[in-house]
Structure 1
Amino acid sequence: MTTLTLTDGKIASAKVDALVVASTAGTDGAVLAEGTDLPKNARTHLTSNLTATGATGKADEVATFAGVPGVSAGLVLVVGTGKADAAVPDAAERYRRAAGAGARALAGKKSALFALGGAEHARAVAEGVLLGAYAFQTFLGEGKSSSAKAPLEAAQVHVKGRHKEDVAGQASVVADAVRYARDLVNTPPNVLFPESFATSVSKRAAGSKVKLEVWDADKLQAEGCGGILGVGQGSGRPPRLVTMTYKPRGAKAHLAFVGKGITFDSGGLCIKPGTGMVTMKCDMAGAAAVAAAVLALAELKVPVAVTGYLCLAENMTGDLAQRPGDIVTMRGGRTVEIINTDAEGRLVMADGIALASEHKPDAIVDIATLTGACVIALGNRTMGVMANDDELRERVTGAASLVGEAAWGMPLPEEIRGSMDSPVADLKHTGDRAGGMMVAAKFLEEFVGKNDAGETIKWSHIDIAGPAFNEKSAWGYTPTGGTGSGVRALIELAQSYA
């Protein structure tokens, strides 16, 4: 992982391979960002060259110049931040993305200084650098391992004056959590399956304040978790349910996070087309986000108790694979008629939500790559947020937005529930095709329990089917492949309860 330090020295005299500064989108092209602390001759040189090269200052644009007068660094990268508009109104997020773009451009370099934004943007810039300087190279063979560029080795973030908070430390913990989630998502499904996923989290949690309990197939059977068992019964790799418990003294609240962990989704007997399976190693991104977030919250010593539930299964087509028409008994005793075996995520999540409810937390938040309908509605970069409580829904979307994760609140109309009525079981696990994102969430809502006062526990569902995996080009601090979607939102949400 890239090492990160803060500095308040003069940026022009820094002994680094590269200096990274920002530009904005002006009327006639790129303009150096206000407050860029460079000598006059350096600013003049950069301004004229930005004009000569036709730089626009738009987001993700990286203009590289060598031999800039008055600057010790051999290279100066001018990274566009775009402009404040309805798309990205938050300055911290614009600088976070610019830092990520700069870090990506500096792969293979030893050192760089990032002088972007003001002191109030320092943590965002630090996060952007660490998230942008990411590469998943674990499985590169002899053909590519020798030629692949390693991420930027060392980065300094320029911050004027002293800071009360540990900007570098907090950014490093959060970024490391996101990187762990990305690694899990990027790991091929022949290597990452329910048992090995649980083992990875157990190793990661060793020595931390997080306690783990792992239920194997026999324990899941004894505990009545028919949803997870049904999905996993067609695979030679049995399912697991991992409970992660972080319980600090004097905790100000108790949250439950439930993550979907389908380590590979073939669609089961309702099999997906071949092209639809190519990225299905990412169907455990929700569980990855929960695991990474709980571990980070413990490391940050956030005074909020958090219990994470990782619902892990592989959806395959073996001899015992679940069939349409089967009826399974879920945790808590409710029966569900199976309609489409490719709608498996909500089954494993329902068991997790029912289990979480038994411990009566203040709120339950589940996160999952749940529906293609969410992608159709909100695209590839925005998570959908639904809830049984308006205040919680706004709290979740607000936490996500605060850290730069795009989120949009969606309703849960009552009339959706009727489409899941079953003549042979308590309910079906699918309903009308229209509003499929909300249908899936409405199913999950059925398994939310009550608190000690007899009231329904506050619950929110986050659908990350779009942003969890990036099949297109890298942008900002977002790489191709696993993105770590939801990790920062969950961390920020828990911190809001502190």
Structure 2
Amino acid sequence: MTTVTLTDRSADKVSAPVLVVMTLSVDGKAVVSPGCVDAQVESAITEALATLGAAGAADEVTKLAGVAGTSGLVVAAGSGLKTEPTDADAEAVRRAAGSAARALNDVAHASFGFPCTTTELTVATVEGLLFGAYEYTAYRVTGPKPKPLAKATVASTVAKASGTKTGVKRAQVVAQEQAWARDLVNQPPLDLYPASFAADVKKHFTGTEVKVQITDEKALARQNCGGLVGVGRGSARPPRLVTLTYKPAKAKAHIALVGKGITFDSGGLCIKPADGMKTMKCDMAGAAAVAAATAAIAALDLPIAVTTYLCLAENLTGSDAQRPGDVVTMPNGKTVEIINTDAEGRLVMADGLVFASKTNPDAVIDVATLTGAAVLSLGQRTTAVLSNTDALRDEVLAAAGTAGEAMWPIPLLDELRPSMKSQVADVKHTGERMGGMITAALFLREFVGESADGEQLPWAHLDIAGPAFNEAGAYGYTPAGGTGHGVRTLVALAEARS
């Protein structure tokens, strides 16, 4: 990972072969944002950008050489902002820093002269460059491998403030765990399957305060885990349930996390078309996100107890594959009629939700690449948030806003519940097609347990089907492929509760 240091010197005075600045878009023209670069250098860079017709738009990266007052390459990253940023513009600064970092592959050292005049903007700059400086090269054997930016020196007028130093350390922890989530999602399904995923998780948490328990297919069957066992029946590589437990002393709250971990989704007997399978290695992104968030929460020593369930299975079409019309029994005793084997995620998640509820947490949050309906509704970059309580829904959205992850509230409409009535079982696992994102969440709600007072536990469902995997080109600090979406929101939520 990129090494980051802070300095209170002007960025153009740092001995580095690359100087990075952020630009505003003023009347459609790029203007260097004032901050941590000498005023004469700012003016010279702005003049050079005008010659090239740079606009300062978001994701615009312009490289300059021979700028007066500089001795090396200058990289200008557009923010799209029209005025100097305030703390409320942290995400725009974060994305500009990420765009710059993505353009700095194979660079040994870069000096960042961003508008780091507050702790918030300094930390946003560091986060952005760390998130953007990511490459997945594990399977590149021949030819050169791109190397992310090795070292960044960030100029800040508040470099010596204790809050800034703490924020930067936090950014490094979160970036490292988000990168792990991205690596897991990017790994080919030939090598990442339930047992290997579980082994990777166990290795990752070795030496930490997080305990790891792995439940195999035989134990799952004994516990009536009809979701995991049923979905995994079509694969020669059986399912696993991984439980992570973090119990710090004097914990102020307890949250339970549940992540969908379908390591490859063919659709089962209701098979997907070929094009629909191309990115289905990402169907375990929810499990990757909650695992990485748990790792970050523990590494930051947050006084929040976390119990996390990774629901891991491979949905294939083997000789014993689950069939439409089958009925399975879940850990809470409820029976489920199978309708469409390509709606497998909600089945494995149901098992995890039952177990999560038994720990009697203050809140249950599940993360899943669950429905194409979420993508149709909100596009590729935004997560749908559904909850049985307004308070928890708003808490998740506030955490997402702090983290810079796009999320949007969707109502749980009980009028859609009758479409899941079954003639042979307690419930069908799918409902009517219209409103499919909501019926999927309504099904999950069936498996959220009650607290001691008889009320259903506060629960929120994050459908990350869109932003979990970026099929298009990279933008801001977001790479192509696995994004690690959801990690930062869960960490921010835990921090808020602490």
Matches within 5 A, 1:213-228: 213-228=213-228
Could you tell me which residue of structure 2 aligns to residue 92 of structure 1?
Answer: 90
Aligned partners of 2:35 and 2:113 also within 8 Å: no
Which residue is equivalent to 2:156? 159
Structure 1 position 415, deviation (Å)? 0.7
1:62-141 alignment runs, 5 A limit: 62-72=61-71, 74-83=72-81, 90-117=88-115, 118-119=117-118, 120-141=120-141
CA distance in 1, matches of 2:225, 2:157: 54
* One-letter amino acid matched to 1:154: K
Task: Name the counterpart of 1:147.
Answer: 144
Superposition deviation, residue 39 in structure 1: 4.1
1:6 matched residue in structure 2: 6
Structure-1 separation of matches of 2:484 and 2:97? 17
1:10 positional shift: 2.2
Summarize the alignment of residues 44-59 of structure 1 with structure 2, pairs less than 5 Å apart: 44-59=43-58
- Number of the residue aligned with 1:400: 400
Note if contact 2:12-2:111 (Cα within 8 Å) is conserved in structure 1: no
**Partners of 2:251 and 2:303 within 8 A in 1:** yes
Q: After superposition, what is the alpha-carbon deviation per residue over 1:23-47, rounded to whole angstroms, capped at 9, x for unaligned? A: 111114111113353241x233212
Deviations 1:135-186 (A, max 9, x none): 00000122xxx32321111111222132223232111100011100000000
Deviation (angstroms), 1:84 = 6.3
Q: Give the total of aligned pairs.
A: 491
Letter in 2 for 1:158: A
Distance 1:49 1:385 in 2: 45
Q: Does 1:352 align with 2:352?
A: yes
1:296 and 2:296 correspond: yes
Describe the superposition over 1:100-149 as per-residue Cα deviations: whole angstroms up to 9, x where unpaired.
Answer: 0000001011001112222221111111111101000000122xxx3232
CA contact (8 A) 1:39 1:70 kept: no
2:10–2:113 CA contact under 8 A, matched in 1: no
**Deviation of residue 71 (structure 1)?**
2.4
Query: For residue 124 of structure 2, what is the amino acid of its counterpart?
Result: A
Secondary structure of 1:419's partner? helix
Q: Output the TM-score relative to the length of structure 1.
A: 0.97
Match of 1:490 in 2: 490
- Runs of 4 or more, structure 1, over 6 Å off, are none
Q: Is the 8 A contact 2:36 2:155 kept in 1?
A: no
Q: Is the 8 A contact 2:260 2:311 kept in 1?
A: yes
Give the CA RMSD over aligned residues.
Answer: 1.3
Distance 2:354 2:43 in 1: 63
Secondary structure, in 3 states, of the residue corresponding to 1:291? helix
Which whole-Å CA distance do the structure 2 matches of 1:228 and 1:246 have between them? 24
Give unmatched runs, 5+ long, in structure 2. Answer: none
Instruction: Give the alignment's TM-score, normalised by structure 2.
Output: 0.97
Please give the alpha-carbon distance, in whole angstroms, between the structure 2 residues aligned to 1:350 and 1:222: 16
1:290-320 per-residue CA deviation (whole Å, 9 max, x = no partner) reads 1000011000000010111000000000011
157-166 or 277-286, which moves further after superposition? 157-166
Contact 1:264 1:315 survives alignment (8 Å): yes
Contact kept in structure 1, 2:392 and 2:459, CA below 8 Å: yes
1:437 maps to 437
Distance across 1 between alignment mates of 2:176 and 2:8:
24
Q: Could you list the runs of 5+ residues in structure 1 that have no partner in the other structure? A: none
Instruction: Map Cα deviations across residues 175-233 of structure 1 (whole Å, 9 max, x no partner).
Output: 01110000000000000000000000100000001001100001101111111100001
Q: How many angstroms apart in 1 are the aligned matches of 2:248 and 2:205? A: 15
| Whole-angstrom CA distance in 2 between matches of 1:268 and 1:105 | 41
Residue identity matched to 1:75: L
CA contact (8 A) 1:12 1:39 kept: no
Paired residues of 1:84 and 1:90 also in contact (CA < 8 A): no
CA contact (8 A) 1:194 1:313 kept: yes
